[in-house]
Structure 1
Amino acid sequence: MHEFAGRHVLERLLRARADGRLRRTWARIAGLGAGEVDGAGQRYLMGPDLVAGIAYGQLGYGLPVDGGPLDPQLAFADAATRRPTYAGEPFDLPAALTRTTWPVVVVSGDRDLCTPRPVAERAVDLAPRGPLVPLCEAGHSALDTHQEAALHVARATADDDLPRLGDTPTIDDLPRRGASRLVGTAITAVVRATTRPGVAA
């Protein structure tokens, strides 16, 4: 919800749920989130199909929950029972980043809760040639949430023109296309329409 529609729409939905409203809307959104985590029952090829071995076996997705209110492991715990057992990374990625001689461009959406901005900033600090490309009103995976920005970054990196990536206004002005943009628009419209006084969806 936060990733696709932003903080204000999320707050509006949470207030409505605290008042006992929007049960059906909440259930539909929760169902979408569950499909994104595991890809179970989804048609075509999903992200988890490609990276589950790394995510669960090396990065620790699905480790025991910590009991906090925003623990991402809550979403992955069930899926982890059908994925590789966590064994840890086969090499020291932070140390490897310090030895890179090629550009390591880090694209970071300000709504990304899977890889939050502090993680992106740490990668940039470690890589000798590691510019940070911040994306406004974007979540995880620029390939889904801001395809034109992803292409812009790929072109600048291939041309070895990293200073071009510092032009944040240019990137923010690029058109946003793809299904993720439509999901955010749809969620925002539903929450706004169903949180008007007298509506009890």
Structure 2
Amino acid sequence: MTPEHSDFSEHSEHVEPNQPELITERLTLRHLCEADIPDIVESCRDPQMIRYTRVPLNYTRADAEDSLLTTARQIAAGQIQRWAIDASGVFAGSIELRLADGTPESPGTRAELGYYAAPKARGKGYMTEALRAVLGYAFDPLGLGLDTVRWTALAGNEVSERVAIKAGFTGIYDDIDPNSGRPDENGHPVQHRVRRADMTRAQFAALWAN
């Protein structure tokens, strides 16, 4: 499979992602696209990503293509909202809201966050800026109108936790979650230690309304 001819190129137009672009002072949060694939592969091969997420080992272009096709289907089904973080034309990472009870007709009331920064874009404050924008959209009655957004990260992922704190998450607690880390060598779930916090619409309004 080559960049010039792939299953993704042939089938990527099957659905139009149903989510808005979000604009901040320095960033555009936009649909992920085929042009992002090289940066996605680079990010998913980064040691920090491998350590703290469930991305496939030895991540390939085919993995990225499959992920983008799945993302488009999930957006159309109302299960997720997922953006590329674009810093003046540079792929700076990705951020998503997994809609726990979402449908094509309604986003439901709650979501779980996921995000990563591209290695070349770390240390610039982009992720905190993107996260605030996504939270604003999540809680806005004219956006998704959610009641609660949850942040979860594997214990030890201090970078993710710092971003969450800067965006206003408080009351972070320890928990156990078999779905946040890699399964064992036989594919069985492992009880991973995680850090977790919830933010409500009222908490976000109190923090960032002004």
TM value normalised by structure 2: 0.27
Q: Which has the higher helix share?
A: 1
Higher relative contact order (CA 8 A, sep 6+): 1
More strand by share: 2
Question: Which is higher, the Rg of structure 1 or of structure 2?
Answer: 1
TM-score (norm 1): 0.28
